[in-house]
Structure 1
Amino acid sequence: MDALPRSLPRSSRRRFLGMAAGVPLAATGALALGAGTARAAAHPAFVMCYFTESPDMLAADYGLHLAVSPDGLEWTPLNQNNPVATPTAGSGGLRDPFVLRKQDGTFVVLATDLKGTDWTYVSQYIHVWDSTDLRSFTGYRRMKLHDMDTHSWAPEAFWDAGRDRYGVIYSAVDGSGHNVIMVNYTSDFVTASGPQVFFDPGYDVIDGDLALGVNGVNYLYFKKNSTLAGARSASLDPGSFTEFGTAVAHGGTEAPTLVESPASDGAWYLWGDTWSPNGVFYAWRTGSLAAGTWTALDQKTYTQPLNSKHCGIQPITAAEHAGLLATWGTPAWNRLKSYNYPARYVRHSDFVGRIDAYAFDPYPDGMWKLVPGLADGAGVSFQSVNYPTRYLRHYDYVLRLDADDGTSTFAGDATFYRTAGLADASWASFRSYNNPTRYIRHADFVLRVDPVATATDRQDATFRVGY
């Protein structure tokens, strides 16, 4: 690993998992090390924080974005995928946000002080907000972590019961000349103690992410040579973590994020992010953190928020989940994922309907408003978000994006009936209004309306409607 591979800060997202639904942490006793296996029942929902970028940087936005999920796999962006808070000091932007539920049940948000991709920018500070419910953000400030001539990347925090303080870990270059994971301690996220080296295996490591007290063991995942690797310790003392297990990767992967399964089965998920502006998330599963081995999840099973980068995931209560949706709303648009090519989404390109690999620009090409069918309100028509006068319609059985000319022929060509997915009933398929033996399907990645006869046809004609 180079001294500073600009596969930069992928904030470790530490899931602070010690809270029973609706009960302040200090009242539960769940913070004690070893309480890990009982905690999954307290995870009825999750919130994700992130910033946004896209391949040509059309989606670049360095404010705080939020999404919610009932299962930690399928995500709904809030506030139309616009930021809910933006820094006003330092660089004026953030990367690598992290949400922690504090001991009193409220939240603190931390983030790297960096707007954009000027990797020469150096800040000894991190951004901080307070929040009671993640629906409003107060007390914005920056907290200084050190006086060194180096960055403070990918901050996250945890409660250290033995010190009666919060630890803040982050990536920085110390006197060794390579990136290590540092720690400072704080009681108020206003001022912090002097920095100490938390984890230094002797080579570059960034993006530390912690899971605490899992059967008496603390786990730290981090980026090592573009892979996600693990270490563990029976304590939280700086220097106590030792490497173990098998690293995972999907290309150049960073920003490890550990998430306990909500199924109360002892399983965990590990999220990782490709470091290029494409920002594709991948996920792995293990039945036990102690095993140190992971199995890649099928991309059919999870969907990241549009253009999301470097996420952090935090368990929340069902009431908090409902409150966030009530305050920020769900998107006014949808994306459609292919069933048998789940890395690909429905989009228009040169006004032709097709499925292409996420991520792409212009990203609004893959955003659709599913409106009442132009020929029958019981059906659905696909209105383009970035060309709102145009709809997907079939012409010679090929789907293309055309302007509504007001004719009954156009209305019929642009109307479809949504049905249970032909390959998976929990997904969706779309039957043509005026060619009712034909369904929308992809062939050589181009969208058509065709009869469906084989298992492959059924898979080609099945899509997930999400965000």
Structure 2
Amino acid sequence: MSANPHLSRRALLGMSAAVPLALTLGSGTAHAADSAYAMVYFTETNNRGSGTDYNLHLAVSTDGLEWTPLNQNNAVASPTEGALGLRDPFVLRKQDGTFVVLATDLKGTNWSYNSQYIHVWDSADLRTFTGYRRMKLHDMETHSWAPESFWDAGRGQYAVIYSSVNSSGHNVIMVNYTSDFVTASAPQVFFDPGYEVIDGDMALGVNGYNYLFFKKVDKLVAARSTSLDPGSFTEFSSNEGASHNGNTEAPTIVKSLTSNTWYLWGDNYRPNGVFYAWQSTDLASATWTPLDQKTYTQPVNSKHCGITTITTTEYNNLIAKWGTPTWNRLKSYNYPARYVRHASFVGRIDEYPITPYTDSQWTLVPGLADSSGVSFRSVNYPTRYLRHINYGLQLDVNDGTSQFAADATFYREAGLAESSWASFRSYNFPTRYIRHSNFMLRIDPISTTAGRQDATFRVGY
């Protein structure tokens, strides 16, 4: 959930959501054949305008850091009961190998809407979502936010944890148990340290401990236990936690499939919906190092996601079913919080989130002057292309002339600062490359380290 600075502290803490990315949720470890990741999420823009969609979205990744939205970043399923919208979706691979998706029953930011239910879907392969229903968790006059689940082998049931308010009137992590995600046991308090906590996210069976990550004020911290019993978790006395500018919520913990590295994600709610990430090789240390934003990219407008590991076959089948985006975003190498966009038809790089977000989406088409090159067509102004005039880049209508075609054509090459990224050389000024200068886009000769960094971009989504 996204925080609203005008709400009370209790409401502020109560409305954020877990972003469940833990690979160890469910059976305790990733499946031996898993080699990729699938993410479920909803979308919400900074002004809650175009690009906001309170339905189920889907993305995939081969490394859990760089994400490809599926179905053109459009929804793949929609709730048909309750608030007719969702927040905070979570996906779990069940013991039988199929999936279940859970989500908060809430549309938009109507924080006074208190649902005793959560949304539930079944899925055999994440290509279809069936059996939609709501599952009742309690009879209290309060919320059931940010649900996620794990397999409790000792009980032989799935635990469903979520943020709610206890009898003392502050937010705690509650738990219900279920075998079928249709009916659930009576609610119990899972974690209540005596102060406001929200956004529970689990990592199970790590060197003899189970870890519960949560939001404490505006910091992401953890508790741990050698069991999964309600009331057994204790916050570390040495826990330093993680935060970005004091606006961090929605802790998410995910383990690399290829190394012993753990990633802790947090959602900054000022501005709305910016993810930050930290890394560690030892959960017990409670020490987290910020990740360079060059290493990860969230799906555009994504909010409070859930991740599961998948196999290569499942990854390929999801791409085949839903398709990859027909557009791209270009991330700056040396200012990785910034993306190429147009503003008042002038090319520049600005920080994400960008309003309107479509200003930063581009269709890369064969070069207008040479099909072996590339031209950048605007998604929201599809008759306009990035072209240079007096070496500055602007967005103009294609007038069909050879001059326009030449000005709007570039050759994609290995990134001048990083070969796995990209640089773009001008067609008609072949010693000049697209680069940013004071955040404005232009074409210049490149001869310095700073220039090579300015002229390097990641072409992604």
Q: State the distance in 1 between where 2:88 and 2:278 align.
A: 20
SS of residue paired to 2:63? coil
Letter of the structure 2 residue corresponding to residue 8 of structure 1: M
Q: State the distance in 2 between where 1:385 and 1:356 align.
A: 17
**Is 1:218 the counterpart of 2:224 in the alignment?**
no
8 Å contact from structure 1 (residues 52, 60) kept in 2 = yes
Give the aligned length.
Answer: 450
Q: State the distance in 1 between where 2:23 and 2:435 align.
A: 42
8 Å contact from structure 1 (residues 40, 260) kept in 2 = no
Q: After the TM superposition, which residues 218-237 of structure 1 pair with which residues of structure 2 at under 5 Å, given as runs? A: 218-237=210-229
Structure 1 length-normalised TM: 0.94
Q: Which residue of structure 2 lines up, in the alignment, with residue 147 of structure 1?
A: 139
**Is 1:13 the counterpart of 2:13 in the alignment?**
no
Q: State the distance in 2 between where 1:7 and 1:253 align.
A: 13
8 Å contact from structure 1 (residues 17, 315) kept in 2 = no
Letter of the structure 1 residue corresponding to residue 455 of structure 2: A
CA spacing shift, 1:165–1:176, aligned 2, 3 Å: same
Q: State the distance in 2 between where 1:138 and 1:446 align.
A: 48
8 Å contact from structure 1 (residues 15, 100) kept in 2 = no
8 Å contact from structure 2 (residues 23, 255) kept in 1 = no
Q: CA deviation at 1:193?
A: 0.4
8 Å contact from structure 1 (residues 53, 307) kept in 2 = yes
Q: State the distance in 2 between where 1:60 and 1:362 align.
A: 11
**Is 1:267 the counterpart of 2:261 in the alignment?**
yes
**Is 1:185 the counterpart of 2:192 in the alignment?**
no
CA spacing shift, 1:7–1:333, aligned 2, 3 Å: farther
Q: State the distance in 2 between where 1:5 and 1:261 align.
A: 32
Q: Which residue of structure 1 lines up, in the alignment, with residue 447 of structure 2?
A: 453
2:64 to 60, 72, 83: 72
Q: Which residue of structure 1 lines up, in the alignment, with residue 349 of structure 2?
A: 355
2:164 to 162, 168, 172: 172
SS of residue paired to 1:410? helix
Structure 2 length-normalised TM: 0.95
Q: Which residue of structure 2 lines up, in the alignment, with residue 2 of structure 1?
A: 9
Letter of the structure 1 residue corresponding to residue 383 of structure 2: T
Q: CA deviation at 1:227?
A: 1.3
Q: State the distance in 1 between where 2:248 and 2:40 align.
A: 18
Q: Which residue of structure 1 lines up, in the alignment, with residue 300 of structure 2?
A: 306
8 Å contact from structure 1 (residues 230, 247) kept in 2 = yes
Q: CA deviation at 1:41?
A: 5.6
Q: Which residue of structure 1 lines up, in the alignment, with residue 253 of structure 2?
A: 258
SS of residue paired to 1:430? strand
Name the % identity: 70
More displaced stretch, 92-101 vs 48-57: 48-57
8 Å contact from structure 1 (residues 344, 355) kept in 2 = yes
SS of residue paired to 2:240? strand
2:42 to 38, 51, 58: 51
Q: Which residue of structure 2 lines up, in the alignment, with residue 26 of structure 1?
A: none
Runs of 5+ unmatched residues, structure 2: 1-7
Q: Deviations over 1:83-124 (max 9, x none)?
A: 100101000000000000001000000000000001111100
Q: State the distance in 2 between where 1:9 and 1:125 align.
A: 17
Q: CA deviation at 1:134?
A: 0.5
Q: After the TM superposition, which residues 82-97 of structure 1 pair with which residues of structure 2 at under 5 Å, given as runs? A: 82-97=74-89
Q: CA deviation at 1:419?
A: 0.3
Q: Which residue of structure 1 lines up, in the alignment, with residue 3 of structure 2?
A: none
SS of residue paired to 2:167? coil
- Please tell me the root mean square deviation across aligned C-alpha atoms, in Å: 1.4
8 Å contact from structure 2 (residues 25, 202) kept in 1 = no
8 Å contact from structure 1 (residues 7, 276) kept in 2 = no
**Is 1:407 the counterpart of 2:401 in the alignment?**
yes
Q: State the distance in 2 between where 1:275 and 1:203 align.
A: 21
Q: Which residue of structure 1 lines up, in the alignment, with residue 433 of structure 2?
A: 439
Letter of the structure 2 residue corresponding to residue 217 of structure 1: Y
Q: Which residue of structure 2 lines up, in the alignment, with residue 394 of structure 1?
A: 388
Q: State the distance in 2 between where 1:253 and 1:83 align.
A: 26
Q: Which residue of structure 2 lines up, in the alignment, with residue 464 of structure 1?
A: 458
Q: State the distance in 2 between where 1:395 and 1:238 align.
A: 65
Letter of the structure 2 residue corresponding to residue 52 of structure 1: T
Q: State the distance in 1 between where 2:127 and 2:196 align.
A: 37
Dislocated runs of 4+, deviation >4 Å:
39-42
Runs of 5+ unmatched residues, structure 1: 20-30
CA spacing shift, 1:66–1:277, aligned 2, 3 Å: farther
Q: Deviations over 1:390-413 (max 9, x none)?
A: 000000000000000000000000
Q: State the distance in 1 between where 2:89 and 2:162 align.
A: 12
